[in-house]
């Protein structure tokens, strides 16, 4: 079976996903949801999408009656994910939602609950969970190649451009660099160590309060503690370029991914030498794998469901609280 997907939000990442899906064997782009008729016409032409599979933000609840669409992929600004995912769930379709799944853990849990109540599955666009170099490090760690894990470092950042974009508007982004790029270090600290953090501390700095208004974090350093005693030290920023590095250190070895989460090619090495793994288009592999998860119940090596996203959002909530109060915030193990 092939997963028939409609994309909601025909922006820059939606376009990247659509292009990558051309090479999919198990997933196919068959529909769009957009507020811009001119874009819809371009996409119809480019991807051969029939008019009956085109919706706008007013009428997409009717997707309920469309038997040619299995799932909707929500690729709109962060703060719009919550309502969109719940509406799609109520229309009885599986949902794939971009990261961050929501702007806080409470919203995230509501989305998980709504999908459960509607009997549909909710997946999140965690493309690194299918990336071969990443999976090779995880395999080696599980095998004990690094010994007991003691330390993880995650560096996630870039210099953001256009000050008028939605990413710098808290009403649409829900936060700054942490929501956008810092989440990669949070998520990465969990899949690289294989543990869930039990405490966080965080420190925020802001050099440009005009560009980064209240509610938009420019730079946050944060630390995580894990049940084994391992610790993580991470940086999330909109004010430094080329920060995309993961370093995992154990008592008997290490792994470095550099770049760790960019669109590729991902590269890395361990104490044993260069990592050898296939170079893939992340979104192609992600959509083929998600088709098998949604249609055949396949279990991914690292979860990509809504509950996985709520874990990241819970940590983000705790990091913001720790940065605000200067206090360590404890999390449930």
Q: Active-site residues: which are they?
A: 99, 184
180 binds ligand NAD per the rule CB under 6 A: yes
Closest by Cα among 285, 283, 288, 280 to 17: 283
Residue among 30, 33, 71, 75 that touches ligand NAD (CB under 6 A): 75
Residue among 7, 10, 114, 168 that touches ligand NAD (CB under 6 A): 10
156 binds ligand NAD per the rule CB under 6 A: no
236 binds ligand NAD per the rule CB under 6 A: no
What phi and psi, each to the nearest 5 degrees, are found at residue 16? Answer: -60, -40
| Contact stretch for ligand NAD (CB under 6 A) within 72-80, 132-140, 185-193, 227-235 | 72-80
| Contact stretch for ligand NAD (CB under 6 A) within 76-84, 211-219, 221-229, 233-241 | 76-84
Q: Let me know if 251 is exposed, middle or buried by CB neighbors in 10 A (0-12, 13-18, 19+).
A: exposed
12 binds ligand NAD per the rule CB under 6 A: yes
Question: Tokens representing 37?
Answer: 């008729």
13 binds ligand NAD per the rule CB under 6 A: yes
The CA-based dihedral angle spanning residues 47, 52, 56, 59, taken in that order and rounded to the nearest 10 degrees? -160
Q: How many residues bind ligand NAD (CB under 6 A)?
A: 19
Check whether the bond before 333 is cis (ω within 30° of 0).
Answer: no
Q: Which is nearer to ligand NAD, 10 or 27 (CB)?
A: 10
Residues 6 or more apart in contact with residue 254 via CB below 8 angstroms:
146, 247, 248, 270, 271
237 binds ligand NAD per the rule CB under 6 A: no
Question: Tokens representing 289?
Answer: 């794998």
SS3 54: strand
Strands across the sheet containing 122-124: 54-55, 27-33, 3-8, 71-74, 94-97, 122-124
Residue 243 region by backbone torsions, left for phi larger than 0, else alpha for psi between -120 and 50, else beta: beta
Distance in angstroms (rounded) separating the CA atoms of residues 168 and 77: 11
14 binds ligand NAD per the rule CB under 6 A: yes
170 binds ligand NAD per the rule CB under 6 A: no
Contact pattern from residue 101 through residue 140 relative to ligand NAD, giving x for each residue in contact according to CB under 6 A and a dash for the rest: ------------------------x-x-------------
Q: Which is nearer to ligand NAD, 194 or 264 (CB)?
A: 264
166 binds ligand NAD per the rule CB under 6 A: yes
Question: Tokens representing 137?
Answer: 């490090």
Contact pattern from residue 30 through residue 69 relative to ligand NAD, giving x for each residue in contact according to CB under 6 A and a dash for the rest: -----x----------------------------------
Q: Which is nearer to ligand NAD, 253 or 259 (CB)?
A: 259
Closest chain position to ligand NAD (CB)? 11
Q: What is the 3-state secondary structure (H, E, C) of 251-297?
A: CCCEEEECCCCCCCCCCEEECCEECCCCCCCHHHHHHHHHHHHHHHC
Contact pattern from residue 284 through residue 323 relative to ligand NAD, giving x for each residue in contact according to CB under 6 A and a dash for the rest: ----------------------------------------
223 binds ligand NAD per the rule CB under 6 A: no
Give residues in contact with ligand NAD (CB under 6 A).
9-14, 35, 75-78, 80, 98-99, 125, 127, 166, 172, 180
């Amino acid at each position: 079976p092939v997963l028939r997907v409609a994309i909601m939000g025909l922006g820059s990442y939606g376009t990247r996903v659509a292009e990558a899906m051309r090479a999919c064997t198990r997933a196919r782009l068959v529909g769009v949801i957009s507020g811009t008729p001119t874009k819809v016409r371009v996409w119809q032409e480019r991807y051969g999408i029939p008019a009956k599979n085109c919706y706008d933000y007013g009428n997409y609840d009717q997707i309920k009656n469309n038997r040619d669409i299995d799932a909707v992929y929500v690729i709109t600004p962060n703060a719009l994910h919550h309502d969109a995912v719940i509406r799609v769930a109520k229309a009885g379709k599986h949902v794939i939602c971009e990261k961050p799944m929501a702007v806080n853990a409470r919203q995230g849990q509501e989305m998980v609950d709504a999908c459960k109540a509607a009997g549909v599955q909710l997946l999140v666009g965690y493309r690194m969970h299918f990336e071969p170099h990443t999976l090779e490090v995880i395999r080696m760690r599980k095998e004990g190649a690094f010994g007991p894990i003691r330390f993880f470092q995650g560096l996630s950042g870039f210099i953001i451009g256009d000050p008028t974009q939605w990413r710098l508007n808290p009403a649409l982004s829900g936060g700054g660099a942490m929501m956008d790029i810092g989440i990669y270090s949070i998520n990465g600290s969990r899949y690289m160590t294989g543990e869930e953090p039990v405490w966080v501390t965080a420190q925020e700095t802001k050099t440009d309060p005009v560009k980064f208004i209240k509610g938009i974090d420019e730079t946050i350093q944060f630390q995580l503690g894990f049940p084994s005693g391992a610790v993580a030290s991470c940086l999330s920023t909109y004010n430094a370029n080329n920060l995309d590095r993961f370093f995992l250190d154990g008592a008997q070895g290490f792994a470095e991914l550099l770049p760790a989460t960019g669109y590729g090619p991902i590269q890395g090495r361990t104490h044993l030498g260069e990592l050898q793994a296939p170079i893939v288009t992340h979104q192609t592999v992600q959509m083929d794998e998600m088709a098998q998860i949604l249609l055949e119940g396949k279990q991914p090596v690292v979860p990509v469901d809504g509950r996985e996203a709520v874990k990241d959002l819970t940590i983000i909530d705790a990091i913001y609280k720790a940065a605000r109060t200067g206090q360590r915030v404890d999390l449930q193990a």
